[in-house]
Structure 1
């Protein structure tokens, strides 16, 4: 593949991600992607046969930037509170940058869970059992309030991810602008871990 072809593919992927982030997969057309990339539709189809193939590549690139970070955070030797802060930051920052990811995961994971896990984690899930053991040790040592580790892990993920799924309803019902919503999400990088830590800290 020559350099110009590599550049064209990158331009297409960047254009597609921009539109997917704004309009979602279903709301974006191949013609709009071609227009955003500054190419004709025939050239777009030369690189990507259809929107599904293009979206899959954009999605895979986004989650494969995130999942190694998550695995590293969970596996490292930091304190539980430090891990909670870093996990929340990683999830929320990923959602701010790639807002289409949670919606797509939700729509696909129940249809084909094994394929989705492979796409997201290359078949190797984050070591949540190790995190659960760390939570159990903190409880046993009297460092945090008694809590089922599974419930705590679900709370961490839910508080980070759910706002992205609820975004359209939240924006309409609260008359919040998209810019204000993004600001709220940025504030949640600090708010969510503090909320979780305060709920379990003695």
Structure 2
């Protein structure tokens, strides 16, 4: 039981340190201090900062991807899928706000290696084939305005993710604190899906 408790403390501390200082600025000593353990014990569990970083955020993807796949592969109407997709994604990122920064960091460093790790850790990664076909079908039937499925998915992902990446900039430009920013993000669960759906209507 002690092992699980110590590992959980380390992971929670590491998430906070990575979020506060970024990967490059974080040190193993910072994580050990935040977890309330000595550095030797931290190295016993996780030999390097890279290894700890990988484990924490691969676990995050293992939580997010299955939920997204469940929505994408369902038989729900397209607009309902968009609402659920946006809602689940924003809730997941709110719980793990470091994920977008992690993705950006890893795609910059080792894009192919990162993608391979995500696909391996999540049983093949995102499965959006059925959703892509549904978007094409709805456009062909004239139910939505013509749009390439990739463009629609990129628009949705960008609207969901970028506010977390640009948080410091938004807060400075808009002169808002953490509480105000969190309120704005909570509202985006409905506002983003409404924006996307309205853009698709004829």
Normalising by structure 1, what TM-score? 0.90
| CA–CA separation in structure 2 for the residues paired with 1:63 and 1:97 | 12
2:131 maps to 131
| CA–CA separation in structure 1 for the residues paired with 2:37 and 2:109 | 34
2:191 maps to 191
| CA–CA separation in structure 2 for the residues paired with 1:130 and 1:85 | 17
1:98 maps to 96
| Offset of residue 13 of structure 1 | 1.1
Query: 1:64, 1:121 within 8 Å by CA — same for their partners in 2?
Result: no
Q: Which runs of 5+ in 1 are unaligned?
A: none
Deviations 1:144-176 (A, max 9, x none): 122222211111111111111211211111112
| CA–CA separation in structure 2 for the residues paired with 1:14 and 1:99 | 13
Aligned length: 200
**For the aligned residues, what is the CA RMSD?**
1.8
SS state at 2:25 partner: coil
Deviations 1:112-145 (A, max 9, x none): 3332123223261323332121011112222212
| Aligned structure 1 segments of 4 or more residues deviating by more than 4 angstroms | none
| CA–CA separation in structure 2 for the residues paired with 1:126 and 1:64 | 11
| Offset of residue 110 of structure 1 | 4.5
Q: Which runs of 5+ in 2 are unaligned?
A: none
2:111 maps to 113
Instruction: Select between 84-93 and 119-128 the one with higher mean Cα deviation.
Output: 119-128
Normalising by structure 2, what TM-score? 0.90
2:75 maps to 77
1:60 maps to 58
